[in-house]
A and B are shown apart, each in its own frame.
Chain A
Amino acid sequence: GENVEQHPSTLSVQEGDSAVIKCTYSDSASNYFPWYKQELGKRPQLIIDIRSNVGEKKDQRIAVTLNKTAKHFSLHITETQPEDSAVYFCAASIIQGAQKLVFGQGTRLTINP
């Protein structure tokens, strides 16, 4: 089955700097790659997703890139702000009925003022 590895497990950056979180997946049939943000004590919330027919997607300060050949995808956050502090999860699945997302282990991002 699918296996998703996420790095780093913790990341600390200065406010205003960029943050990058990387994930690799094992199943070449996976075609949907969402990213979730989870604030302390809250539910995970979808922040951006990408499908395998697209190499990059942006939404304001966040972007996701996908390299199908290498089977890895990354989350980029620019001009980081204190409210970006949270745990971020990547995931992968095949869009075929039920999604059955397989999640990475999570990255705790801390933005230092």
Chain B
Amino acid sequence: DAGITQSPRHKVTETGTPVTLRCHQTENHRYMYWYRQDPGHGLRLIHYSYGVKDTDKGEVSDGYSVSRSKTEDFLLTLESATSSQTSVYFCAISGTGGLSGYTFGSGTRLTVV
């Protein structure tokens, strides 16, 4: 499938612990995004990146941070996980100019207990 992978696929963590999700692409795309998917809310943008070390906030960024030290990797960190962050997290990539839409990763199901 498309050259984008997420890890881990599933994770259960305790409230208050830090969690890092990884997104890795082999497409050399400039733009990378993190979304969360919750019933009744569709997909909501958390953070996005427009280049190495260039990131910005999305609609629901509180409690999350990101880093992009290489073109191919985009990390999402929950500094201190809360139960409200239980969700499915999707990473996406897009090329220059939005000519081809997003390609999504397979998602990470995160449960905070």
Would A46 and B101 count as touching, CB distance under 8 A? yes
Q: Tell whether B90 is near chain A: CB-to-CB under 8 Å.
A: yes
Q: Please give the distance in Å from A44's CB to the nearest CB on chain B.
A: 5
Would B31 and A105 count as touching, CB distance under 8 A? no
Would B41 and A102 count as touching, CB distance under 8 A? no
Q: Please give the distance in Å from A63's CB to the nearest CB on chain B.
A: 17
Would A43 and B43 count as touching, CB distance under 8 A? no
Contact with A along B28-43 (1 / 0, CB 8 A): 0001010100001111
Residues of B within 8 A of A54 (CB): none
Would B104 and A43 count as touching, CB distance under 8 A? yes
- A93: which of B59, B98, B103, B104 is its contact (CB, 8 Å)? B98
Given A45-B104, A89-B43, A105-B40, residue A99 in contact with residue B31 (CB < 8 A): yes
Closest 4 CB pairs of A and B: A103-B42, A95-B98, A43-B104, A46-B101
- A101: which of B56, B102, B106 is its contact (CB, 8 Å)? B102
Identity of the chain A residue whose Cβ is nearest the Cβ of B32 in the assembled complex:
A98
- B101: which of A49, A102, A105 is its contact (CB, 8 Å)? A49
Say which size band chain B's interface belongs to: 20 to 34
Residues of B within 8 A of A1 (CB): 59
Which residues of B7-45 are within 8 A (CB) of A?
Answer: 31, 33, 35, 40-45
Identity of the chain A residue whose Cβ is nearest the Cβ of B50 in the assembled complex:
A98
Which residues of B36-70 are within 8 A (CB) of A?
Answer: 40-45, 48, 50, 56, 58-59
Given A99-B94, A100-B48, residue A43 in contact with residue B105 (CB < 8 A): yes
- B42: which of A6, A45, A46, A49 is its contact (CB, 8 Å)? A6
Given A43-B105, A97-B50, A98-B50, residue A104 in contact with residue B98 (CB < 8 A): no
Q: Please give the distance in Å from B101's CB to the nearest CB on chain A.
A: 4
Residues of B within 8 A of A106 (CB): 42
Would A101 and B45 count as touching, CB distance under 8 A? yes
Would A44 and B44 count as touching, CB distance under 8 A? no
